[in-house]
Structure 1
Amino acid sequence: MAEEPIRVEGWRELSRSLRRVNTELPKGLRLAANSAAQLVVNEAKPRVPVGPGKGGHASSSIKAASTRTAARVQGGGAKYPYYPWLDFGGKVGRKKAVSRPFMKTGRYLWKSYADQQERVAQKLDDALRSVVEGAGIGVQ
């Protein structure tokens, strides 16, 4: 069963309100989201298999990324284009000769998120409260 992403209602409105108070405050939202996403990164990295080659480790591509209004954990990229195959499976190579059983829920990132979902939600809640209190806005 795939886990649902955490959605925070009013995030954009909060960001706009913080920006009206001080243009630097919305950065705190991004940092709060990154700190919560880092829990998933720390859980996922050790799960990814390490290749035999020097520096060819897809686990090093797993990182938290965020904007003012969203956070995510991503893996792969130009240097590690095979990462999605490692995580989700499928067929690759010449004439699709290399096969790995396909898993819609993935093997590393989504499973790590599922294992850490409660801690991620709590960390996000604590960090958001800290940002709002630091802006001088009361939290009820």
Structure 2
Amino acid sequence: MIDPIRIDGLAEFTRNLKKLDADLPKTLRVAMNGAAKVVVDWAQPRVPRRSGRAARSIKARSTRSAVRVAGGGTRVPYYPWLDFGGKVGPSRSVSRPYRKEGRYLWAGLAAKRDEVRKVTEDALLDAARKAGIEVD
């Protein structure tokens, strides 16, 4: 399985940004969504389409301390089957080869890992500069 990108000290960094300016953590969250959008843009065109709901369900979701890419939901309960495979239907009659690493989201992170890392780094540096912290 592909390891997620983790940033040590991100929660502390956002707390300190909030002390400097209450709006900075919000701008950092929005900027970090740009990194998730890289994965979303890679995955959406690769999802099989009938109605297009599964592809449209792939979205970036974020908080002040975490950014995620998620697919599926109540209107698209079959999305995990599309991404990871398995057997579904009456008597498990519909089969799709199982892939532990997935076909879309985790594969997108693996394919675009360097770009995601670069966008994340740029977002952190930009937030620090907006706070007036000298970054070299």
TM over 0.5: yes
Match of 1:11 in 2: 10
TM-score (ref. length: structure 1): 0.93
Once the two structures are overlaid, the 10-residue window that deviates more, 27-36 or 42-51, is: 27-36
Secondary structure of the 2:133 match is coil
Cα separation, 2, equivalents of 1:124 and 1:103: 28
Q: Could you say what the CA RMSD is over the residues aligned between the two structures, in angstroms? A: 1.0
Structure 1 segments, 4+ long, off by >3 Å, are none
List alignment gaps of at least 5 residues for structure 2. Answer: none
Q: Deviations over 1:20-50 (max 9, x none)?
A: 1111111122112101000000000010011
Secondary structure of the 2:134 match is coil
Cα separation, 2, equivalents of 1:133 and 1:17: 13
Cα separation, 2, equivalents of 1:64 and 1:49: 19
Equivalences, count: 136
List alignment gaps of at least 5 residues for structure 1. Answer: none
What one-letter code is carried by the residue in structure 2 that aligns with 1:13? E
What one-letter code is carried by the residue in structure 1 that aligns with 2:23? E
> Is 1:111 aligned to 2:75, yes or no?
no
Share of identical aligned residues, percent?
A: 51
Secondary structure of the 2:112 match is helix
Q: Deviations over 1:87-139 (max 9, x none)?
A: 00011111111111111000111111111000000010011100110111122
TM-score (ref. length: structure 2): 0.96
What one-letter code is carried by the residue in structure 2 that aligns with 1:75? G
> Is 1:122 aligned to 2:121, yes or no?
no
Secondary structure of the 1:129 match is helix
Cα separation, 2, equivalents of 1:11 and 1:127: 12
Secondary structure of the 1:105 match is coil
Cα separation, 2, equivalents of 1:63 and 1:106: 16
The Cα of 1:56 is off from its aligned counterpart by 4.6
Match of 1:70 in 2: 66
